[in-house]
Amino acid sequence: MSYQVLARKWRPRGFAEMVGQEHVLRALSNALDSGRLHHAFLFTGTRGVGKTTIARILAKSLNCEQGVSSTPCGECSTCKEIDEGRFVDLIEVDAASRTKVEDTRELLDNVQYAPTRGRYKVYLIDEVHMLSGHSFNALLKTLEEPPPHVKFLLATTDPQKLPVTILSRCLQFNLRRISIERIQAHLQLILEKENLTFESAALLQLARAADGSLRDALSLLDQAIAFGNGVVNDSDVRLMLGTIEQHYVYDLLDALASADGNVLIQRVQELAQQAPDFSAVLAEIITCLHYLALLKQVPDAYDHNMGDKERFLKLLESLSAEDIQLYYQIALNGRRDLPLAPDQRNGLEMVLLRMLAFRPDDGKTKATAKPAVASSSYTEKKPVPEVRVEEKQVVAEVASVNEVAAEVVTPAPIIRSTNLAKISKSELSSTNWHEVVSSMATTGILNQLVEHSAFVSIDNSHLNLAIAPSHSAMLTSGREQQLQEKLSTYFEIPLKLNIEKAQIETETPAARTGRQQQERQTEAENSIINDDNVKNIMDAFSANVDLESVQPIDAGTKQT
């Protein structure tokens, strides 16, 4: 008898055997048991989470000889034929290979005919987003008003490619990724029933590698069983997946904790002999640092999946919470940039050396990396120059440019004061009009009106202003009267105010304020870009300054 792969052998035959997706199963079970059945269902989600499986179970529930229910018997000829993929009234279509409109029309020509054996004729269209636009148009009317004996079950990994006209005609169910814990538990259950020897740590590795897909996990489990000749152990699975044993990660973190560059590079050399995937090595370091950060805050959160408890407790004592957070951020960014490195091993070494170089100051001594010995590929061993981190040096991964801004010269603030020297009527001109506006301290729309006005002339008791047509909507007789009273009070004489709508050639107070703000913004940006600390960071990490995040700091503002 031929071997049947685990993904097919252990495919669920009923809703009760499904792993996860309770939110979908609950809705379908209630609909089946109550008889409130829609004519079109759309199942979405990533690969291997149960879309096609749920659709087949639903088809079995609709056509079971014992009646429509959420618990098909699984024993009748209809249930068995559906499980074996030979039920004549379950028409499974791979949309990826039948994208033409002619294929869809041929399919729909048979919709009007009654089912041959079952209660319903069920059309299961997989990867439905692959259909062409014309195919969707041909499907629309039938999908909206099919004959009572027809049900449509659609499945896709990319629902965003479906026309909204299709989505609006279906009940949509989004299937979620399956958690690592549930995949691990399911793999353990299968191996126990298969009477195979396994290690829990190996199943955890497989569950992580599956990335939320149970089908991928079962395929990897098949591979692991073959690789280990019927035994699934942690070392074999790590070798198969290209991951490393955890003690290598502990050794690297121990070297970081002791700030010993020589030992650190030596550990990398030992690791390189295993020919690992260095991106996977960084992933293991990130995972370990996550566990350490978790245990720092919640000591009782340890579980067996974290690895060697004794090593974890030792690392918790030697690494501070700040160290862990910094290392995590550097490792995360380093893994992202690893493909840019000329050699992945060198990329890993640079990430680890960066952790040493920018280790936070403990408040007593400077954080100084011990000289590290170059890799054995060089005939002459040369020490890496000592790197010192000054107290005010900023690490690019964990500090924003705004923190550096506190170290640079602060641009002069815009003067906005009500204590300016009072200007007499005879002194008033277009150059000091803004001082009169600031001294009056108007508010609201009246303030906007006077800010956007320009001085024209003053003659005896008549003051003439101008406002651009684009701002003239603020000018009303009431506001003009209010402004006239304010100006009369300021100059201590009765004034007659006249505001004309005209193109303004002189600088208004609002325009002056905008110009000053832009000058201060430019000065602040130049201060950041020209700062020595920022230049060092940019050179070290090939970084760029996000100028949109730079803001001038007013003089006298308290720095935190």
Asked if residue 362 lies in contact with residue 391, where contact means CB atoms within 8 angstroms, the answer is no
Look up the CATH number of the domain holding residue 520: 3.30.300.150
Q: What is the largest CA-CA distance in the chain?
A: 113
How far is Cα 108 from Cα 143, in angstroms, rounded to an integer? 10
How far is Cα 492 from Cα 495, in angstroms, rounded to an integer? 9
How far is Cα 14 from Cα 26, in angstroms, rounded to an integer? 13
User: Torsion angle, CA of 534/536/542/544, rounded to 10 degrees?
Assistant: 10
Query: Are 195 and 127 found together in one domain?
Result: no
Query: Are 30 and 100 found together in one domain?
Result: yes
How far apart, in Å, are the Cα atoms of 142 and each of 114, 135, 166, 200, 475? 15, 12, 11, 50, 61
How far is Cα 167 from Cα 177, in angstroms, rounded to an integer? 21
Among the three residues 204, 224, 241, which one is the final residue of a domain in this structure?
241
Of the chain, the end-to-end C-alpha distance in Å amounts to 74
User: Is 85 a domain residue?
Assistant: yes
Query: Are 148 and 194 found together in one domain?
Result: no
Query: Are 184 and 118 found together in one domain?
Result: no
User: Torsion angle, CA of 426/428/431/432, rounded to 10 degrees?
Assistant: 120
What pLDDT is stored for residue 234 in this prediction? 87
User: Is 424 a domain residue?
Assistant: yes
What pLDDT is stored for residue 63 in this prediction? 92
Query: Are 201 and 152 found together in one domain?
Result: no
User: Is 387 a domain residue?
Assistant: no
What pLDDT is stored for residue 304 in this prediction? 67
Among the three residues 357, 372, 395, which one is the final residue of a domain in this structure?
357
How far is Cα 207 from Cα 182, in angstroms, rounded to an integer? 9
Rg (CA), the chain: 36
User: Torsion angle, CA of 391/392/395/400, rounded to 10 degrees?
Assistant: 150
Asked if residue 323 lies in contact with residue 293, where contact means CB atoms within 8 angstroms, the answer is no
What pLDDT is stored for residue 381 in this prediction? 40
How far is Cα 166 from Cα 89, in angstroms, rounded to an integer? 23
Which of helix, strand or coil describes residue 339?
helix
Query: Are 422 and 544 found together in one domain?
Result: yes
Asked if residue 73 lies in contact with residue 64, where contact means CB atoms within 8 angstroms, the answer is yes
Please state, as a whole number, how many other Cβ atoms lie within 10 Å of the Cβ of residue 335. 20
How far apart, in Å, are the Cα atoms of 211 and each of 49, 52, 177, 216, 220? 10, 19, 8, 8, 11
Query: Are 155 and 221 found together in one domain?
Result: no
Measured in whole angstroms, the distance separating CA 155 from the mean position of its chain's CA atoms is: 25
**How many structural domains comprise the chain?**
4
Pairing relationship of beta strands 40-44 and 90-94 according to DSSP bridges: unpaired
Successive 10-residue mean pLDDT values, the chain, 560 residues: 82 90 92 90 91 92 91 90 90 82 81 88 90 85 88 91 90 91 92 91 89 92 92 88 81 89 90 84 90 85 71 85 91 91 90 86 43 40 41 40 42 46 83 87 86 88 88 85 88 88 88 89 87 83 80 54
Give residue-wise pLDDT tens across range 126-171.
988 988 888 888 888 888 888 899 999 999 998 888 999 889 889 9
What pLDDT is stored for residue 559 in this prediction? 39
User: Torsion angle, CA of 81/87/91/95, rounded to 10 degrees?
Assistant: 40
User: Is 407 a domain residue?
Assistant: no
User: Is 365 a domain residue?
Assistant: no
| Residues 6+ positions from 554 with CB-CB distance below 8 Å | 410, 413
Query: Are 423 and 304 found together in one domain?
Result: no
* Residues present in the chain in total: 560
User: Is 455 a domain residue?
Assistant: yes
How far is Cα 265 from Cα 310, in angstroms, rounded to an integer? 24
What pLDDT is stored for residue 554 in this prediction? 60
What pLDDT is stored for residue 221 in this prediction? 94
How far is Cα 157 from Cα 52, in angstroms, rounded to an integer? 11
How far is Cα 504 from Cα 354, in angstroms, rounded to an integer? 57
Asked if residue 305 lies in contact with residue 204, where contact means CB atoms within 8 angstroms, the answer is yes
Instruction: Dihedral sign for Cα 230, 232, 235, 237, please.
Output: positive
Structural domain of 186: 180-241
Measured in whole angstroms, the distance separating CA 196 from the mean position of its chain's CA atoms is: 39
Give residue-wise pLDDT tens across range 243-252.
777 788 888 9
Look up the CATH number of the domain holding residue 316: 1.20.272.10
Query: Are 95 and 210 found together in one domain?
Result: no
φ, ψ at 155 (rounded to 5°): -135, 140
Burial class (CB in 10 A: 0-12, 13-18, 19+), 111: middle
Please state, as a whole number, how many other Cβ atoms lie within 10 Å of the Cβ of residue 255. 23
Q: Is the pTM of this model over 0.85?
A: no
Asked if residue 445 lies in contact with residue 474, where contact means CB atoms within 8 angstroms, the answer is yes
Among the three residues 158, 174, 190, which one is the final residue of a domain in this structure?
174
How far is Cα 316 from Cα 324, in angstroms, rounded to an integer? 9
The DSSP output letter for 419 is -
Amino acid at residue number 333:
N
Query: Are 135 and 204 found together in one domain?
Result: no
Nearest CA to 218 among 226, 210, 208, 229? 210
User: Is 64 a domain residue?
Assistant: yes
How far is Cα 508 from Cα 451, in angstroms, rounded to an integer? 7
Query: Are 224 and 290 found together in one domain?
Result: no
Query: Are 22 and 91 found together in one domain?
Result: yes
Six-digit token string for 71: 């618990």
User: Is 381 a domain residue?
Assistant: no
Look up the CATH number of the domain holding residue 29: 3.40.50.300
